[in-house]
């Protein structure tokens, strides 16, 4: 399928109601890569990241950096891993007790969760990168990541909804603060969305963003204010795709930079309040190697298989 048709699919507001809708578009993009073979550029300062450059029909535009350690670039491999991914979701939905062990007993590696999600989202992002308006593309790609994570969480049997709440300000009658929450997670009875409903003590608020850049401060502050106004701890988790962006290195346009602010993250965690979980599909190496970060940040696969059931 040519990129122009993929662009049209990406922009359809009535699409992406099921996981299969996401998977289908990703498969078509990977098949297009395989057939048309756009220019493949390896980042000089991070060799596991590559870019694809479109032809003249698309203004020689360049995709976002793609992590080949996670990207399932071959259509046949992607198709196989997607089937396994659905098997894992079913195990998580049905299992009790140690879900990680239940998955491993079936012969599946937890890394396939992050690889499938990363491939789906980054192929969608790469289609968006072919559009002439980057701001329009960025917003749509972010919306689709939020929708993808919600569908995955629902698939494992956890209720998940976006919710708008208005919390009264104590001492100021008729005054309230409005919060548009990306998702609220709940076990048990189905959630009925309501603009006036607050957050139940057993519910978890989730922030879903493709990157923490320019968003980290607000997530910590939201937890602090919601907890203060409701006079109890509100559980908040943050889910990010990655913290990577293209960076110019001299005359080279294809370097890689991290957008994660380590000191800000640690400062907010200590001086304001720690979040109840921070998860990345593509974590930066420092998040694994730095012990101060490693105890506060995990992979999304850990959230889906372990922490979501504990928090």
Q: Residue 16 phi/psi, 5° resolution?
A: 65, 45
* Same domain (yes/no): 54, 169: no
What pLDDT sits at residue 264?
Answer: 96
**Does 188 lie in the same domain as 150?**
no
| Predicted pLDDT at 196 | 43
Band of pLDDT at residue 194, cut at 50, 70 and 90: very low
Q: State which of 133, 155, 177 marks the end of a domain.
A: 155
Residues 183 and 224 occupy one common structural domain: yes
Instruction: Give residue-wise pLDDT tens across range 229-278.
Output: 999 999 999 999 999 998 876 667 799 999 999 999 999 999 999 999 99
150 vs 248: which has the higher pLDDT: 150
Question: By the 8 A CB rule, do 184 and 206 touch?
Answer: yes
Average pLDDT over residues 208-226: 95
Q: In angstroms, how far is the first alpha carbon of the chain from the final one?
A: 43
The b/e string for 150-167 (b: 16+ C-beta within 10 A; e otherwise) is bbbbbbbebbbbebebeb
CA distance 124 to 7: 9
Q: What angle do CA 137, 156, 88 make, to 5 degrees?
A: 90
The model's pTM is 0.94
**Residues 126, 176 share a domain:** no
Task: Look at residues 120, 155, 190 and tell me which one is the last residue of a structural domain.
Answer: 155
Across all residues in the chain, what is the average pLDDT? 92
CA 282/CA 280 separation, integer angstroms: 5
Residue 193 has pLDDT above 60, yes or no: no
Instruction: Yes or no: say if 54 and 126 are a contact pair by the CB < 8 Å rule.
Output: no
CA 168 to chain centre: 31
Helices 111-129 and 3-11 cross at an angle (nearest 10°) of 100
Side-chain half-sphere exposure of 206, counting CA atoms within 13 A:
27
Does residue 228 share a domain with residue 255?
A: yes
In terms of domains, do 133 and 176 share one? no
Beta bridge partners of 50: 42, 66
Residues 114 and 181 in one domain: no
Distance CA 15, CA 151 (A): 13
Count of structural domains, the chain: 2
- Residues 73-131 have pLDDT tens digits of 999 999 999 999 999 999 999 998 899 999 999 999 999 999 999 999 999 999 999 99
For residues 285 and 219, state if they share a domain.
yes
171 and 241 share a domain?
A: yes
Mark whether 219 and 305 lie in a shared domain. Answer: yes
**Residue 57, pLDDT above cutoff 90:** no
C-alpha pair distances (Å), 201 with each of 91, 113, 221, 231, 252: 27, 29, 19, 11, 51
Q: Are 187 and 94 part of one and the same domain?
A: no
| Contact in structure between 275 and 236 (CB atoms under 8 Å) | yes
For 196-212, what is each residue's pLDDT tens digit?
468 999 999 999 999 99
- Domain limit, last residue, from 138, 155, 172: 155
Do 239 and 120 belong to one domain?
A: no
pLDDT of 308 above 90 = yes
Q: Residue 33: give the domain boundaries.
A: 3-155
Q: Cα–Cα distance between 113 and 94 in angstroms, integer?
A: 17
């Amino acid at each position: 399928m040519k990129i122009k048709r993929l662009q049209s699919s990406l922009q359809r507001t009535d699409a992406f109601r099921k996981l299969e809708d996401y998977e289908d578009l990703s498969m078509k993009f990977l098949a297009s890569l395989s057939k048309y073979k756009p220019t493949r550029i390896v980042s000089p300062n991070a060799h596991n990241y590559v870019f694809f450059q479109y032809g003249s029909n698309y203004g020689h535009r360049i995709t976002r950096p793609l992590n080949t350690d996670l990207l399932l670039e071959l259509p046949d491999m992607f198709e196989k891993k997607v089937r396994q991914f659905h098997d894992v979701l079913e195990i998580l939905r049905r299992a009790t007790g140690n879900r990680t062990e239940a998955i491993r007993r079936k012969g599946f590696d937890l890394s396939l969760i992050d690889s499938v999600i990363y491939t789906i989202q980054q192929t969608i992002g790469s289609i968006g990168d072919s559009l002439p308006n980057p701001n329009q593309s960025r917003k749509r790609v972010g919306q689709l990541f939020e929708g993808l994570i919600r569908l995955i969480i629902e698939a494992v049997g956890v209720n998940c909804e976006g919710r708008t709440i208005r919390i009264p300000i104590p001492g100021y009658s008729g005054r309230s603060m409005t919060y548009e929450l990306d998702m609220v997670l709940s076990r048990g009875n189905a959630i009925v969305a309501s603009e006036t409903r607050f957050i139940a003590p057993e519910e978890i608020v989730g922030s879903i963003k493709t990157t923490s850049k320019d968003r980290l401060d607000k997530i910590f502050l939201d937890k602090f204010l919601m907890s203060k106004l409701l006079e109890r701890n509100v559980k908040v988790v943050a889910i990010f795709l990655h913290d990577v962006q293209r960076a110019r290195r001299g005359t080279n346009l294809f370097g890689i930079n991290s957008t994660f602010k380590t000191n800000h993250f640690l400062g907010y965690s200590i001086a304001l309040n720690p979040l109840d979980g921070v998860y990345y599909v593509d974590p930066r190496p420092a998040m694994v190697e730095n012990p101060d970060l490693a105890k506060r940040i995990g992979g999304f696969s850990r959230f889906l298989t372990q922490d979501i059931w504990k928090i």
